[in-house]
Structure 1
């Protein structure tokens, strides 16, 4: 069957990708405002001829069942996407979770060739594991040049603040991903790295002249277009040098004029999520969708209501606001993309037991550890006294996926006689009065919808007080190098010779390597605990 057959409404359905839960059952849904019930989702898929879904939630094993279920509901093969910039395990536990891309950028400063090899391995493994669980559209790599340390949403998702390094590593990632029939996506065009506010909440402005955009922001996009990236995701940004009125996602001057005509991109143009404040506040949801297609978008990601969106699109085409030939061109690009994915029918429905066997293989685990070890930083030597506590600080315990009773950040200090205490940022101040000899472990990175990069002024004051009181005898920072730089510059950490370790990753592998490094455990015998009990 030609997937672009049917009524105009059914054809336009191929241009919509909706958000859905990766869990199998309704009572597991974690974001009901964005993730429809199974009944509604199935109705949309069966009646609207949707082009695909983007998934979040559920284990990797469960996801292999979920993706089969979704494909079986659809008359035409679905694109199934996920934001797995750091591996399938970043979103779906059980699969491989890599350190953030900026870890590779750190390695590239010392050895670009080695960093590129790691990036290629990442691309191969992510593509392999994605297909194993039924994901056929990898929404990666991020090619934003993060040259603003206060960026609250890109940050360590970027490879580097150097456009050359970003380009080299992104292309290497794409070369690896090409090993398997998955779609890739460079994001967020034309560059979200130099912003200090979050497009999930409002509309950032990039005030630079065109010459600066050419020298910095556009360099990695040119490189990935040259490497035949399958799709490019738009950014909800205002760029007055090109369009003073409309965000990039809604700008024909930017998407059709710059990306298509001048840069020569022939693949899919997909919006960033349309529920984000960067465009959601610009006009009604339906008008935003029409404006995006008008601008040159092929796929609308996460419109608020796909049924109302389709009605608005049908009207826009029937009235001539959007030319039919433009829709036909988009449908043809979608068709060609699906041909790449589905020409091998085995990529559509897989044996779940086979899928599980493809995840977290030895090669993947070794690559993760190599990247973590090569990007690790440390300073000073550990000297700790009795009455010890392991104070772990996280943003939000309810959404914390990298920490439990058995993760190394808890168990290794516990074996050394540390009592574990866990604080969220909003409760950290209550731990100031204790006089325990403290190992402070801080999990901190940029996060969507938070509005800052994790170090608000109030939190900075608390950390300064903790360090000033000299109760912190060891520090491990997981995630943001900008947070590490702040601790080294703005506290008494160095003056007081406090031993510290920094790791880009937050997963269990990262915790194990960081704790072993801090306590110098790699060189001690099996009875190493005895050393610290005296």
Structure 2
């Protein structure tokens, strides 16, 4: 990049009182190089407001754009050349460190597929190497925002040995803000240990559209008050360690199209929009650091431009009406909602004009720079507009101590990531989330002497459940097939095998849109052998599976999701989860089961285990809905609630 290289961290004073900024030395070093032979003070401190103003004022145009550019890099270490072809194709250089230096990047974004998250120690080492590159002679001299999408559940860029969580909708089914805060603390502590200082989480979208193809179980539910309460608790827990990011503003939960592949449009009125805005307003009032925009058109605010490119959405609504003063970041700029409709030059120009501070993951960073440069040359974007965003970014880096302490303690990583305490929190959420929606003839809990046929849609991962049932003591007959739509041959095998079983356990996966899954459950029910369905993804499957004798929701296909469900099937815990969404009738005409609904076993469960986790607190249910009973915890004892098919 062209332009000045004077924007450096490590704030030093000359005898004359003039400000000099110098590179922060990695790790143990306490003094910066001495430009011009002038003695400098120790470096690594937090800049004052005046010092930030001086840094920003001295930046060139490209340095300003660089601070606003946060993108991914390919490689497992700062100098890794094993993915040089990918870096060359996208950025024209070989290594992650060279990407940082070329663009004076303000931030990077980690993905597994770009080689960044092989192990906790490797990721922490990469983080340190990238910070050294940023603070070195060729870098911008300002520490990086190191970012990731670690929501827990379906979207988690770092897997085991990091703690695997059941996900946000499972959390929503607990209705417990204490657990939400613990989830936030867990995510924040583990990311901080890896050198990550921004988590693009939590999702605050209300999943009010059962057909939503992109949010679903990433949401904590559809009740604005409950999502607000759980969302703020997550944010406050997370921000004990790293920045949280409320997403996707102004709400992606009622879309019928995935913005990764198209441009969604929502047509509801302002009153409905206000419900979707409520969790974001709560997050703002709760002090969230960042908000991510959605690539969707919200007709009630701007009928022509998606939120990411709309001044009415980002400035008029978010800044002026809702009072957000923190950092606004775009969602990824390579998503088809934008990339298929505008050039990267125009996207960069328009989103800055709309009010965004961050250009996140442009597929063509050179084009993004070009677009902003041209807009400045044309007088469309002023240098002061860019300084405004960079001032906000650097102020955040100062307040979050990214300047003062940018490095991870690699030696301590394994003590934090995947700790027994964190794993216990994930297990508690799983136990408390399992949501029993149907239990005809009190089929559940199953008798551990039963022989169970374990089958299901391959996308529902029945092969994870079978061994868990066997480990619990059941005799298990297993038959599995890949894919989401069970074949006729597989269905016939399962029907034949059911004759040798006392019960069938079937994993469904978004069966509301899959006729083959519906048919297989119906065929198994016709055998007369009791059928238990574990609905593994979106929670609406019960509406299209009338033949199932019992239905329990897991809100995900991870082993951690199935842990609580298997414990409930065996009677080791009493199901305590409650629906965080309404379940519509199959024909969409009316509500089959309301938000807050959930069954539990009679008193006591047949195989009740010890009450190893506390039940949901009284009053934690959704306002106006039947929330979890105060004594409905695992192993708890309370009157069997009434409900359909009970």
Moved more, 360-369 or 322-331: 360-369
The residue aligned with 1:517 is: 568
Q: Per the alignment, do residues 358 and 305 of structure 1 end up closer, same or farther by CA in structure 2, a change over 3 Å counting?
A: same
* 1:15 aligned onto 2:68: yes
Quote the RMSD (CA, aligned, Å). 3.2
Matched pairs, number: 494
* 1:48 aligned onto 2:103: yes
CA distance in 2, matches of 1:224, 1:284: 32
Q: Per the alignment, do residues 460 and 394 of structure 1 end up closer, same or farther by CA in structure 2, a change over 3 Å counting?
A: closer
CA distance in 2, matches of 1:196, 1:67: 37
CA distance in 1, matches of 2:382, 2:332: 24
CA distance in 2, matches of 1:409, 1:36: 46
Shift of 1:38: 8.0
Select the residue among 375, 399, 403 that pairs with 1:340.
399
CA distance in 1, matches of 2:565, 2:87: 37
* 1:431 aligned onto 2:490: yes
Shift of 1:307: 1.6
Q: Per the alignment, do residues 213 and 386 of structure 1 end up closer, same or farther by CA in structure 2, a change over 3 Å counting?
A: closer
* 1:280 aligned onto 2:344: no
* 1:508 aligned onto 2:569: no
On the 8 A contact 2:458/2:480 being kept in 1, the answer is no
Shift of 1:305: 1.0
The residue aligned with 1:192 is: 252
Shift of 1:464: 4.4
CA distance in 2, matches of 1:157, 1:477: 15
On the 8 A contact 2:148/2:198 being kept in 1, the answer is yes
CA distance in 2, matches of 1:87, 1:281: 29
Select the residue among 156, 159, 163 that pairs with 2:220.
159
| 1:353-502 aligned within 5 A | 353-378=411-436, 379=439, 380-381=443-444, 382=446, 389-395=453-459, 409-413=466-470, 416-426=475-485, 428-434=487-493, 435-437=496-498, 439-442=504-507, 444=509, 455-470=512-527, 473-483=531-541, 485-486=542-543, 489-494=544-549, 499-502=550-553
Q: Per the alignment, do residues 42 and 222 of structure 1 end up closer, same or farther by CA in structure 2, a change over 3 Å counting?
A: same
Select the residue among 159, 163, 170 that pairs with 1:96.
163
How high is the TM-score relative to the length of structure 2?
0.70
Q: Per the alignment, do residues 155 and 340 of structure 1 end up closer, same or farther by CA in structure 2, a change over 3 Å counting?
A: same
* 1:228 aligned onto 2:283: no
Q: Per the alignment, do residues 500 and 87 of structure 1 end up closer, same or farther by CA in structure 2, a change over 3 Å counting?
A: closer
On the 8 A contact 2:329/2:356 being kept in 1, the answer is yes
On the 8 A contact 1:282/1:288 being kept in 2, the answer is no
| 1:53-64 aligned within 5 A | 53-57=108-112, 58=117, 59-64=119-124
CA distance in 2, matches of 1:377, 1:144: 21
Moved more, 276-285 or 184-193: 276-285
On the 8 A contact 2:143/2:403 being kept in 1, the answer is no
Q: Per the alignment, do residues 245 and 512 of structure 1 end up closer, same or farther by CA in structure 2, a change over 3 Å counting?
A: closer
CA distance in 2, matches of 1:425, 1:273: 28
On the 8 A contact 2:93/2:99 being kept in 1, the answer is no
CA distance in 1, matches of 2:389, 2:545: 52
CA distance in 1, matches of 2:462, 2:492: 25
* 1:178 aligned onto 2:178: no
Higher relative CO (Cα under 8 Å, sequence separation at least 6) belongs to 1
Moved more, 297-306 or 86-95: 86-95
Q: Per the alignment, do residues 147 and 43 of structure 1 end up closer, same or farther by CA in structure 2, a change over 3 Å counting?
A: same
Partner of 1:255: helix, strand, or coil? helix
On the 8 A contact 1:440/1:476 being kept in 2, the answer is yes
Q: Per the alignment, do residues 387 and 237 of structure 1 end up closer, same or farther by CA in structure 2, a change over 3 Å counting?
A: same
CA distance in 2, matches of 1:47, 1:88: 34
| 1:96-175 aligned within 5 A | 96-108=163-175, 115-175=176-236
Shift of 1:468: 4.5
On the 8 A contact 2:184/2:234 being kept in 1, the answer is yes
Higher helix share: 1
CA distance in 2, matches of 1:227, 1:91: 26
CA distance in 1, matches of 2:83, 2:478: 33
* 1:210 aligned onto 2:270: yes
CA distance in 1, matches of 2:85, 2:150: 18
CA distance in 2, matches of 1:138, 1:524: 38
Structure ID, larger Rg: 2
The residue aligned with 2:349 is: 290
On the 8 A contact 2:127/2:196 being kept in 1, the answer is yes
Partner of 1:81: helix, strand, or coil? strand
Q: Per the alignment, do residues 364 and 33 of structure 1 end up closer, same or farther by CA in structure 2, a change over 3 Å counting?
A: farther
Shift of 1:267: 0.7
On the 8 A contact 2:486/2:516 being kept in 1, the answer is no
CA distance in 2, matches of 1:440, 1:360: 31
Shift of 1:230: 0.7
On the 8 A contact 1:392/1:423 being kept in 2, the answer is no
Deviations along 1:268-303, whole A, 9 cap, x unmatched? Answer: 111111111211122112211211111111001111
CA distance in 2, matches of 1:30, 1:461: 46
* 1:83 aligned onto 2:141: no
The residue aligned with 2:410 is: 352
Deviations along 1:230-282, whole A, 9 cap, x unmatched? Answer: 11100111122221211111011111111111111111111111111211122
CA distance in 2, matches of 1:418, 1:35: 50
CA distance in 2, matches of 1:340, 1:331: 14
CA distance in 2, matches of 1:351, 1:155: 36
Q: Per the alignment, do residues 461 and 118 of structure 1 end up closer, same or farther by CA in structure 2, a change over 3 Å counting?
A: closer
CA distance in 1, matches of 2:87, 2:104: 22
Partner of 1:242: helix, strand, or coil? coil
Moved more, 375-384 or 305-314: 375-384
Shift of 1:344: 6.5
